[in-house]
């Protein structure tokens, strides 16, 4: 999820009563709710290493106490804010774990069980941007603010906002349950159809910011299909984009195997959810161009991919990773 969502959820947890654990709770929660994503700051945008290390140990439950302790050190000794050590640690721990669990809701997920398992876990029910979730979280702050304005006018005691924040957190959990239901309905809709005359060998749906619209992906015997799935509209299995899979020659197959074994391709393949390889033969110093792209990506973004170039003797000439970016260029 995006940093705004993580921070807002952290503040809602504090507002619900956890802020009583320590003075300067907002500083503690602000950094704790953001701390796991610091792993993304050590890589340049085009560095394929970010795929391996982002959402790595900083998003694992086993390492959450380490991050929580680091937040305490930063707030107390760098920012020089007064805190209650034990209470601030518990608050920071809640913020870090909340971040990890929220990322679990996206289709990229997190490797929660490191160092015991490198397996990523993902529920795939939330988009990276969810306007309705923004609204729920905003209410946890707006309602107490308006209530205190009224109380100030009539001379009543100001409310802490704990009841409102707690209620909004429960509404948020109910919303996550609703999005899970929507995803299951979309999968059931796709699974009941045939594509290019055959039942799908594999299918999945990926959420968008609209809770009832999904990106649908189907893998057949020799094709991939990309479809829009809208739960409030007719689903047409004949629509969408049909991508035929290549049947590589012996030479092209060798180029693909060697390209797939490069460090860049290996890192990409370990991260990708729906890879689609292509091999192009050229004339000149570069004889083969092998691309592997990720089909599971938000519609407003270009597909991330790796591009490996080989010469006529199958020696690797270059390895390039191209990250996903907005189709508008930003």
Q: What is the mean pLDDT of residues 186-197?
A: 94
CB under 8 Å to 319, separation ≥6 — which residues? 262, 263, 264, 265, 306, 307, 308
pLDDT in tens, 254-289: 999 999 999 999 999 999 999 999 999 998 888 999
> What's the pTM value of the predicted model, to 2 decimals?
0.87
Per-residue pLDDT tens for 5-58? 999 999 999 989 888 999 999 999 999 999 999 887 777 767 888 888 888 899
- Give the tens place of pLDDT for each residue, 153-191: 676 666 667 888 899 999 999 999 999 999 999 999 999
Residue 244, pLDDT above cutoff 90: yes
- Rounded Cα distance, 102 and 123, in Å: 10
Mean pLDDT of 117-137: 91
Which pLDDT score, from 0 to 100, does residue 119 have?
A: 87
Q: Which of 39-43, 56-60, 82-86, 248-252 has the lowest mean pLDDT?
A: 39-43
Nearest residue to 100 (alpha-carbon basis) of 139, 54, 136, 158: 54
Residues 6+ positions from 318 with CB-CB distance below 8 Å: 307, 308, 309
The answer to whether the CB of 88 falls within 8 A of the CB of 94 is no
pLDDT-derived band of residue 206, with 50, 70 and 90 as boundaries? very high
Going by C-alpha positions, the residue among 127, 132, 97 that lies closest to residue 13 is: 97
Residue 266: its H or E element: helix 263-271
Q: How far is CA 310 from CA 248, 293, 323, in A?
A: 16, 18, 21
Residue 298 in tokens: 């938000």
The answer to whether 1 and 45 have CB atoms below 8 angstroms apart is: no
34: which 2 tokens? 């953001």
């Amino acid at each position: 999820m995006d940093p705004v969502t993580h921070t807002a959820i952290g503040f809602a947890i504090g507002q619900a009563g956890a802020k009583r654990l320590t003075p300067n709770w907002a500083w503690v929660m602000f950094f704790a709710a953001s701390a796991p994503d610091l792993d993304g700051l050590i890589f340049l945008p085009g560095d394929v290493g970010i795929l391996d290390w982002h959402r790595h140990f900083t998003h694992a439950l086993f390492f959450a106490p380490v991050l929580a302790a680091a937040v305490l050190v930063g707030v107390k000794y760098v920012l020089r804010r007064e805190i209650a050590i034990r209470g601030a640690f518990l608050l920071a721990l809640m913020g870090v774990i909340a971040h990890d669990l929220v990322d679990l809701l996206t289709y990229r997920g997190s490797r929660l069980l490191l160092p015991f398992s490198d397996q990523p876990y993902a529920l795939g029910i939330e988009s990276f941007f969810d306007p309705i979730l923004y609204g729920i979280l905003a209410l946890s702050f707006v309602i107490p603010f308006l209530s205190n304005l009224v109380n100030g006018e009539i001379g009543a005691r100001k409310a802490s906002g704990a009841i409102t924040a707690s209620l909004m957190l429960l509404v948020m959990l109910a919303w996550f349950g609703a999005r899970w239901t929507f995803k299951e309905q979309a999968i059931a809709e796709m699974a009941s159809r045939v594509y290019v005359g055959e039942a799908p060998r594999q299918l999945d749906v990926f959420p968008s910011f609209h809770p009832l619209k999904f990106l649908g992906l189907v893998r057949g015997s020799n094709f991939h299909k990309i479809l829009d799935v809208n739960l409030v509209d007719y689903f047409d299995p004949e629509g969408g984009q049909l991508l035929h899979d290549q049947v590589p020659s012996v030479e092209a197959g060798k180029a693909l195997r060697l390209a797939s074994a490069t460090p860049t391709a290996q890192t990409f393949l370990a991260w990708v959810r729906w890879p689609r390889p292509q091999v192009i033969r050229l004339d000149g110093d570069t004889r083969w161009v092998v691309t592997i792209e990720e089909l599971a990506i938000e519609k407003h973004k270009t597909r991330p991919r790796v591009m490996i170039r080989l010469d006529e003797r199958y020696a690797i000439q270059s390895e390039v990773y191209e990250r996903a970016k907005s189709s508008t260029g930003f």
